[in-house]
Amino acid sequence: MLNALSKAFFLGLASSRPLKRLASRYGLRKPTSFARRFIAGETTADAIAAARVVQAAGMGISLDLLGESVLTLDEADAATRGCLALVREVVDAGIERNVSLKLTQLGLDVDHATAVDNLRKILALADAHEFFIRIDMEGSAYTDETLSIWQTLWGLGHRRLGVVLQSALKRSEDDARRVIEQGGRVRLVKGAYKEPKTIAWQAKADVDAAFVRMMQILLKDGTYPAIATHDPAMIAATKEYARTIGLGHDRFEFQMLYGVRRDLQASLVADGYRVRVYIPFGREWFPYFMRRLGERPANALFVLKSIVRER
């Protein structure tokens, strides 16, 4: 109950323009500023520097040039050019070639065909350099469209393109089976959006139970699934199930967010598991940041403390 309230509260604040303006001015201003804990910085150079640190600690990375819900074709075009520039800079930097992006960042709310075209432009360059591109999953209004775009591009031969499924949605187990049938790669998450009870589990226990069921389906029949969670219970269940079916540590990976449970990331690496860290960066960090606060109200306290310290 508290969980749902906190999620709704912070997701509500995420659409406040004055708050966004204020936060954007101060959030990343100094190395100690409050948003630095979860956002690598505003520039690609900041993200690449963070990626080098993560890779040096024995983990993989996925870079996310933050942005979502753009309202004009110009913004979608700018985001596409940003992703293309990111691909080139990652190649030049020689770090791991793995990027996550969102379809509403590429214009899905403005024009479906343009968003697909934009993604195809990115894939043309990314495929040439053997990148893996993960399409993040947004709110349930986009689930069908996102999966159908993935399906179309997969059918066109883009085999380094993965999707995300959310255990909070009741439909996701069926979606997992459909993606598995095609041989696609899934990142399993609980889901960061507030969804109606007609289509989504509301209680944490139900979301967790669905997560475990989906994890088992993906580990047993999927292609190199990513189990993306900071929840020790989900991680323990995954390790246990992999052991039971004799699945090697190289057949799946754990994924976590930059700045979240770094202790757990390190201990999984020490135990020989693969871990990938999702590294968000860029100027459009506010909605992402608010989702992180909604997941864990203690983070809001942490942010308040850093603001007070800085003044």
Catalytic residues: 136, 187
| Cβ-based nearer residue to ligand FAD, 73 or 206 | 206
| Cβ-based nearer residue to ligand FAD, 212 or 307 | 212
Shortest distance (Å) from residue 296 CB to ligand FAD: 4
For the CA atoms of the chain, what is the radius of gyration? Answer: 19
| Cβ-based nearer residue to ligand FAD, 260 or 269 | 260
Strands 226-228 and 60-65: unpaired
Site string for ligand FAD, 271-300 (x = CB under 6 A): -------x-------------x--xx--x-
| Cβ-based nearer residue to ligand FAD, 44 or 166 | 166
**C-beta of residue 131 within 8 angstroms of C-beta of residue 98:** yes
Range in contact with ligand FAD (rule: CB under 6 A) among 49-57, 172-180, 183-191, 282-290: 183-191
Considering the rule CB under 6 A, would residue 166 count as an interface residue with ligand FAD? Answer: yes
Q: What is the largest CA-CA distance in the chain?
A: 55
Q: Is 200 strand, coil or helix?
A: strand
DSSP 87: H
Considering the rule CB under 6 A, would residue 164 count as an interface residue with ligand FAD? Answer: yes
* Half-sphere exposure for 176 (CA within 13 Å, toward CB): 31
Which residues in the 206-265 window bind ligand FAD by CB under 6 A?
228-231, 255-257, 260-261
Considering the rule CB under 6 A, would residue 137 count as an interface residue with ligand FAD? Answer: yes
Give the span between the Cα atoms of 305 and 162, in whole angstroms: 38
DSSP 216: H
Q: Is 56 strand, coil or helix?
A: helix
Count of residues engaged in binding ligand FAD, rule: CB under 6 A? 23
Distances (CA, A) of 161 to 25, 157, 183: 35, 9, 11
Shortest distance (Å) from residue 74 CB to ligand FAD: 25
| Cβ-based nearer residue to ligand FAD, 70 or 207 | 207
Could you list the beta-strand ranges (E) of the chain: 60-65, 98-101, 132-135, 161-166, 186-189, 226-228, 253-257, 275-281
Considering the rule CB under 6 A, would residue 136 count as an interface residue with ligand FAD? Answer: yes
| Cβ-based nearer residue to ligand FAD, 44 or 265 | 265
**C-beta of residue 303 within 8 angstroms of C-beta of residue 283:** no
Q: Any alpha helices (H) in the chain, and if so which ranges?
A: 2-13, 17-26, 44-56, 73-93, 112-128, 143-155, 172-182, 204-221, 232-245, 262-270, 286-295, 297-310
Site string for ligand FAD, 50-89 (x = CB under 6 A): ----------------------------------------
Considering the rule CB under 6 A, would residue 192 count as an interface residue with ligand FAD? Answer: yes
Sites of contact with ligand FAD (CB under 6 A): 136-137, 164, 166, 189-193, 228-231, 255-257, 260-261, 278, 292, 295-296, 299
